[in-house]
Amino acid sequence: MKKLLSLLLVAAMGLSLVGCGGSDNGSKSESKSDLEYVKNKGTLVVGVTDFAPMDYKDESGNWIGFDADMASAFAESLGVKAEFVEIDWDNKIMELDGKTIDCVWNGMTLTDEVTSSMACSDAYCNNAQVVIVPNDKADKYQTVDSIKELTFAVEAGSAGEDQAKALGLNYTAVKAQADALMEVAAGTSDAAIIDSLMAAAMVGEGTGYDKLTYTVGLNSEEYGVGFRKDSDLVAELNKFFADSKADGSMEKCAETYKVQAALAK
């Protein structure tokens, strides 16, 4: 009798496990659509870093900027709210795949690593990586060859770090581009490599870094928004971008944050 009872229990456990597997597969199948997943929870969770003029906080602590405003408008078009989460840029793919965030929308350069790891939107903005140095050293560092003697600060996992590696530069990886600027201002690094859009907003006369300037342009690149692989939100965003260009709302937002010249055609 005990043996029979044991067999029955084992059989019941097996059925229970099959049931769990079926339920899990069902949930996976239900979550195949990112659009449906986002609509069901009522939020589009956007991964960002402190990166003016694309994503940064106002005096009240709210996220604003060209990307932040466009992300909020896109979320509204889906009938949900945008929720912004500050991420470690080096972990953006892991955050996305783990569903901590639903997209990376933060002046993200469409590198080979990004496009192979995420489903990416059409390019919406043009950019370049530029070298930042103190004003009093600008004349000395105007070519790629001249900067090779410098120590650099770059954001970990960024296009700036890619350029530093490609050129064989001596660099330290920091958490954010804003931290790279702080390193140069403090004199702990000779120079930094950051996005040209950020340089235009944060460096030079009338900014918080008026003793820094940008010199050498290292490349040209494009920004896109990243979603999980095969996400159906990509098509929704591309349509939103097309509509926003057609009705002028993207240009208006770009004018607010002085990035209109960089908009992709």
Reduced to 3 states (helix: H, G, I; strand: E, B; else coil), residue 65 is coil
Reduced to 3 states (helix: H, G, I; strand: E, B; else coil), residue 133 is strand
Fold for the domain defined by 129-219: D-Maltodextrin-Binding Protein; domain 2 (3.40.190)
pLDDT for res 31: 56
In this chain, the answer to whether the domains covering 35-126+222-262 and 129-219 adopt an identical fold is yes
Q: DSSP assignment, residue 260?
A: G
Residue 9 dihedral angles phi and psi, to the nearest 5°: -65, -45
Q: Give Cα 124 distance to the centre of its chain.
A: 13
Quick check: pTM over 0.85? no
The domain segmentation of the chain, as residue ranges, is: 35-126+222-262, 129-219
What does each of the 265 residues of the chain score in pLDDT, given as a tens digit?
444 334 333 334 443 433 333 334 334 444 579 999 999 999 999 999 999 999 999 999 999 999 999 999 999 999 999 999 999 999 999 999 999 999 999 999 999 999 999 999 999 999 999 999 999 999 999 999 999 999 999 999 999 999 999 999 999 999 999 999 999 999 999 999 999 999 998 999 999 999 999 999 999 999 999 999 999 999 999 999 999 999 999 999 999 999 998 999 8
Write out the two tokens for 23: 């339920």
The dihedral built from the CA positions of residue 45, 47, 53 and 58, taken in this order, carries a sign that is positive
Class of the 35-126+222-262 domain? alpha beta
